[in-house]
Structure 1
Amino acid sequence: MSEIKEKVVSIIVDKLGVDAADVTPEKSFTNDLGADSLDTVELIMEFEKEFNVSIPDDQTEKISTVGDAIKYIEENYKA
């Protein structure tokens, strides 16, 4: 598992209180992991903080699954 994926999963587990085994790339934050709109905003903010990336509003709407978040961060993260 990549370091980015591990951190994304860790953030989701922490924020949503779900089991890490349930956090797979195809899982939807809202439909599968029980996040509401506020949870989703908080996840995006935490991703931005943890990875020092800016996720514009037009992109946040496209990040609806764990895999979407990982892909966006991998493409935009600068260590």
Structure 2
Amino acid sequence: MSERQEIVTKACQYLQQIAGSGVSITPQTNIAEELSLDSVKVLDLVMELEDEFDISVPLNLMADVQTVNDLVDLIEKVISENDDTTG
């Protein structure tokens, strides 16, 4: 499984836990509009993903995140930047 696919899978799993089983979540799902997540739930999601991938996501970058794909792009970017500074 590619790193991106792993991030997509984990993000969708966490969102499914937050949103409930009656909701279908895809990479195109709009996190705020379709899932009706408030800022606290979004922060919970980010913290779970930070723990999962051992990263720290700057909260100011979360303003541009609309969809699951946007979130995955951001996580990939943070992981890549961490790799650049540590490797």
- Name 2:6's counterpart in structure 1: 3
Instruction: In structure 2, list runs of 5 or more residues that go unmatched.
Output: none
Question: Which runs of 4 or more aligned residues in structure 1 lie more than 3 Å from their structure 2 counterparts after TM superposition?
Answer: none
- Name 1:74's counterpart in structure 2: 76
- TM superposition shift of 1:18: 4.2
Instruction: In structure 1, list runs of 5 or more residues that go unmatched.
Output: none
- Name 1:50's counterpart in structure 2: 52
Larger radius of gyration: 2
Q: TM-score, normalised by structure 1?
A: 0.79
Between Structure 1 and Structure 2, the one with more helix by share is 2
Q: TM-score, normalised by structure 2?
A: 0.73
Give the alignment partner of residue 28 of structure 2, picking from 19, 26, 29: 26
What is the root-mean-square deviation of aligned Cα atoms in Å? 2.2
2-side partners of 1:57 and 1:6: how far apart? 22
Aligned residues: 78
Q: Check conservation: 2:11, 2:72, Cα contact below 8 A.
A: yes
